[in-house]
Structure 1
């Protein structure tokens, strides 16, 4: 589900959220996550942050703790079958190296 659906499911009013940049850089989101702001739904320390784009209130930070994140999982933008097909195609071209404690990297 997207952030708007997640907020609705968790009963979060977008008006109560902090203003956010419309398209934050990864560094901005990471810095916010390091501060562990309270979860937008339950108040526990958050583990993830994202921007909810609300029609009436503009971009707002939507922070979720582990439990609230698991209750509102993101949806794939493509059907799962297609996602797995594309993942297999990419993985088939990736070199595989395993690390062993005794001999170091195997396959190099």
Structure 2
């Protein structure tokens, strides 16, 4: 799910979030994460920061702690099988060993 979907799932109102730049540079997001602002959901120190875009409220910082992030994982833009296939190909091209774990088949590459 994307950030907007995650905020909805977690019951966060964009109006309650801090204003953010529309497209922050990585350095801006990293600097925010280093400050460990409180999780937008539960108030624990956040481990990830991102920006959501709400038409009525503009761009807002959406910070999540580990547990809130894991409750709303990002959606891959491609099916998992295709993602893993491309990851294996890139790993082979770079001559890197790759071990993957999926719930369906356990560890691969050992």
In the superposition, the TM-score normalised over structure 2's length comes to 0.84
What is the match of residue 102 of structure 1?
none
TM-score, reference length from structure 1: 0.86
- Give the equivalent residue in structure 1 for 2:49: 49
Aligned length: 97
Extract structure 1 runs of 4+ deviating beyond 6 A: none
Aligned equivalents of 2:93, 2:78: Cα separation in 1: 21
**Counterparts of 1:87-106 in structure 2 under 5 Å?**
87-96=87-96
Distance in 1, matches of 2:34 and 2:82, equals 34
Q: Which residue of 1 is the match for residue 30 of structure 2? A: 30
CA deviation digits over 1:36-63, x for unaligned, max 9? Answer: 1110011111110000011111110000
Residue in 1 that maps onto 2:40: 40
| Larger-Rg structure | 1
- Paired with 1:3 and 1:41, the residues of 2 have a C-alpha distance of 13
Indicate how the Cα distance of structure 1 residues 3 and 96 shifts in structure 2: closer, same or farther if over 3 A, else same. Answer: closer
Structure 2 SS opposite 1:84: helix
Q: CA deviation at 1:81?
A: 1.4
- Structure 2: how far apart are the matches of 1:52 and 1:96? 35
Aligned to 2:77: 77
What is the alpha-carbon root mean square deviation over aligned residues?
A: 1.1
